[in-house]
Amino acid sequence: DAKTTQPPSMDCAEGRAANLPCNHSTISGNEYVYWYRQIHSQGPQYIIHGLKNNETNEMASLIITEDRKSSTLILPHATLRDTAVYYCIVRLSHYGGSQGNLIFGKGTKLSVKP
């Protein structure tokens, strides 16, 4: 089973920031938080990942709480093309290699509206 809990759906106005929450209260110390999104019937697209510190890249920012039990993905200026299902995944990573089996939950369906 997935170790994360996400709201099933969210709406966001175009041009505004989209803040997608994720709860991962049972995360362990060597588990990373990964975010992917899937636009209808396409392959999931990697967005960002982090362990403890906040992360930012050209697509999004990831805010992880100090106790690491929850995180928020921020799309700073949502566009219609950001409409997708967003998946938050915790993934074990350790010296010698991580596992190649991502466990997907149901994700959050984000609808960006004009």
Partner 1 sequence: KAGVTQTPRYLIKTRGQQVTLSCSPISGHRSVSWYQQTPGQGLQFLFEYFSETQRNKGNFPGRFSGRQFSNSRSEMNVSTLELGDSALYLCASRVAQSTDTQYFGPGTRLTVL
Which lies closer to partner 1 via its Cβ, residue 45 or residue 113?
45
Which lies closer to partner 1 via its Cβ, residue 43 or residue 114?
43
Instruction: Name 95's Cβ contacts closer than 8 Å, sequence gap at least 6.
Output: none
Instruction: Name 110's Cβ contacts closer than 8 Å, sequence gap at least 6.
Output: 9, 10, 11, 12, 18, 20, 78, 82, 83, 84, 85, 86
Which lies closer to partner 1 via its Cβ, residue 29 or residue 96?
96
Contact yes or no for 90/24 (Cβ under 8 A): yes
Residue 14 CB, nearest approach to partner 1 (Å): 26
Residue 101 CB, nearest approach to partner 1 (Å): 4
Instruction: Name 109's Cβ contacts closer than 8 Å, sequence gap at least 6.
Output: 8, 9, 10, 84, 85, 86
Residue 7 CB, nearest approach to partner 1 (Å): 16
Interface residue list for partner 1 (CB under 8 A): 32, 34, 36, 41-46, 49, 87, 93-106
Residue 38 CB, nearest approach to partner 1 (Å): 8
Which lies closer to partner 1 via its Cβ, residue 29 or residue 97?
97
